[in-house]
Structure 1
Amino acid sequence: MRRGSSKKAPSSSSSSNSSPMDLFRSATGKAATKELERIDQLYYTYANESSGMIDPEGIEYLCSDLEVEHTDVRILMLAWKMQAEKQGYFTLEEWRKGLKALRADTIVKLKKALPELENEVRRPSNYVDFYSYAFRYCLTEEKQKSIDIESICELLELVLGSQYHQQVDMFIQYLKTQIDYKVINMDQWMGFYRFCNEISFPDFNNYDEELAWPLILDNFVEWVKSKQS
């Protein structure tokens, strides 16, 4: 009996010496581990077995479960949240980063997180970064620095169409009819976002071509004015 008592004593002492903060940290650590396990489990639901990555086919399955089109801007926003580097692919590290930030360890939670993610991206402090990321995400070749006109038109409609419908619609018309530019670079891409934010449209009252605007925007303004006259 004494041996039994002496064996139990250290355990009792150890338990009594554990502070509430120690117990809280232990419980929090276990919960975080379980959450990460569920995030990983969800990842491998969509990952390609041979590559270990979520590829375009896996993203299509993911979109189906989220009940959104693969062309939905929220999928691009999800890629931004993960800081995914390669278009159409998610690595485990990227997936963990995004889903931990969204506190989504099930497909149901991820689906519910999409509206909150969209609100987060739409904040002015985040949107410039998202807009810039959207361009970089579409650079699919090594050392690629520009994007073809057709792809740019689709991307503009996706990321800016709902906010600046008139400007985007007119700029897309211009891009499809002009013959001087085959591709758009980052400077031109970011310049158009600044243009939408700062310039009165469609009268261009505060547009000054003497300022440091990309030449393509000077040409765009001239084109619109010629159509108006």
Structure 2
Amino acid sequence: MGQCVTKCKNPTSSLGSKSGDKESGSKSHHKKGGGAGGGHKEEPSAPCSKATSELSNGTKALEVTVETPTIPAVIGEPRKDEFLDGDGLSLLRIEELFICYKDEQEDAILEEGMERFCNDLCVDPAEFRVLVLAWKFQAATMCKFTRKEFVEGCKAIKADSLEGICSRFPCMLLEAQGEENFKDLYRFTFQFGLDADEGQRSLQRDIAIALWRLVFTQDMPAILERWLDFLAENPSGIRGISRDTWNMFLNFTQAIGPDLSNYSEDEAWPSLFDTFVEWELERRKKEEEQALVANEEDGRCTETECSSTTDRHETEDSCGSQTWGGH
């Protein structure tokens, strides 16, 4: 679709680091040594130790600097300084996983980090699973996870690693199919699509179309494509989609059949729905008329062909009789 879920306008060809080397986030961030239980700070390089050796004649050999690798807490066995909650999750691992993708200037995962995060999860930023993950994280804005959203989200889905998050996708997708859960996801999607920085109160038409198609990925209503065609073909009359219109459309898909026969303008539907039903019924009427004309033309062609065939057979029979009679 034209706009991905994470609203990444200029996806990079490489989802690795800015320098072009595809580094894993866990290798580019290390915990600063010396402070037990202290905050996590980034250092430009891993801690190093110096090793020297003394020759038999008493002189010192060349001083050699040995880099001691730091194993990130994102993988491996729990460290002694890790705290596990009641679900066996490592809060330290969650924090370090967040640091792998956070922005250098802001304490949040932004566009570039989100691209790398999705790439490492082996998901497309524009697919339904990412929307569901954002829903579980209760993300307030597209293409952004704050530290609180990320940490609380991982705790909510009970995952403290990339592998853990990936393993939760099937359960999350199944959960989203529940009636009440889907209603919550559906309403979340509207808020998720708004540009909070600009104080938007309605969705842009193109964004709304993309999000409608996305949120109904697992169970698409029969009328959805016609509704989206209506929105796409009437750009001048539809500037934005209000929250009320968005929410009521879910009720519309559940209450009104695909033939629209039980739709009533007297009920409290948004006026845009009245316009849509009128547009769709008129479209179907024209479609039926065109089909009728096409059938009539096919019928006339068939009659003409039959008449020509009959005349040809009569002519052949006449010629045959004359030939046999001549003999």
Q: TM-score range by the shorter chain?
A: 0.7 to 0.9
- Percent identity between the two aligned chains: 31
1:31 aligns with 2:84: yes
Q: Please report how far the alpha carbon of residue 108 of structure 1 lies from its aligned counterpart in structure 2 after TM superposition.
A: 0.5
What's the offset of the Cα at 1:205? 2.3
Q: How does 1:79-228 map to 2 (within 5 A)?
A: 79-140=134-195, 141-178=197-234, 179-201=236-258, 203-228=259-284
CA distance in 1, matches of 2:254, 2:111: 33
Q: For residues 34 and 82 of structure 1, do their structure 2 counterparts lie closer, same or farther at Cα, with a shift above 3 Å needed? A: closer
Greater Rg by CA: 2
Unaligned 5+ runs, structure 2? 1-81, 286-327
Cα RMSD, aligned residues only? 1.7
Q: 2:121 aligns with which of 63, 66, 70?
A: 66
Tell me the CA shift for residue 198 of structure 1.
1.3
Q: 1:187 corresponds to which letter in structure 2?
A: D
Distance 1:207 1:129 in 2: 25
Secondary structure of 1:166's aligned partner: coil
Alignment length (residue pairs): 200
- Alpha-carbon distance, 1:106 to partner: 0.8
2:89 and 2:159 in contact (8 A); partners too: no
Do the aligned residues in 2 keep the contact of 1:83 with 1:94 (CA within 8 Å)? yes
Contact residue 161 and residue 169 of structure 1 kept, 8 A: no
Aligned residue identity for 1:31: L
Contact 1:36 1:105 in 2 (8 A): yes
Distance 1:34 1:192, change over 3 A: closer
Alpha-carbon distance in 1 for matches of 2:217, 2:141: 24
Residue deviations 1:23-82 (CA, integer Å, cap 9, x gap): xxxxxx942286111111111111112212101111111111111100011111111111
Q: Is the 8 A contact 1:161 1:168 kept in 2?
A: no
Deviations, residues 198-218 of structure 1 (Å, cap 9, x unaligned): 1111x1122121110011111
Give distance in 1, aligned partners of 2:243 and 2:145.
Answer: 23
Q: What is aligned with 2:292?
A: none
SS in 1 for 2:84: helix
Do the aligned partners of residues 147 and 224 (structure 1) sit closer, same or farther apart at CA in structure 2, a change above 3 Å counting?
same
* Aligned residue identity for 2:139: A
C-alpha contact 1:164 1:196 (8 A) present in aligned 2? no
The one-letter amino acid of 1:199's match is: I
Q: In 2, Cα distance between the equivalents of 1:30 and 1:162? A: 38
User: In 1, are the aligned partners of 2:89 and 2:155 still within 8 Å (CA)?
Assistant: no
Q: 2:217, 2:93 → 1: CA distance?
A: 36
Q: TM-score, normalised by structure 1?
A: 0.82
Q: 1:101/1:161 Cα in 2 relative to 1: closer, same or farther (>3 Å)?
A: closer
CA distance in 2 between partners of 1:204 and 1:165 (Å)? 13
Instruction: Provide the C-alpha distance between the structure 1 equivalents of 2:250 and 2:89, rounded to a whole number of angstroms.
Output: 42
**Pairing 1:57–2:112 present:** yes
Q: Deviations over 1:137-173 (max 9, x none)?
A: 1111443111121111111111124422532211111
Residue matched to 1:24: none
In structure 1, what is the Cα distance between the partners aligned to 2:174 and 2:107?
31
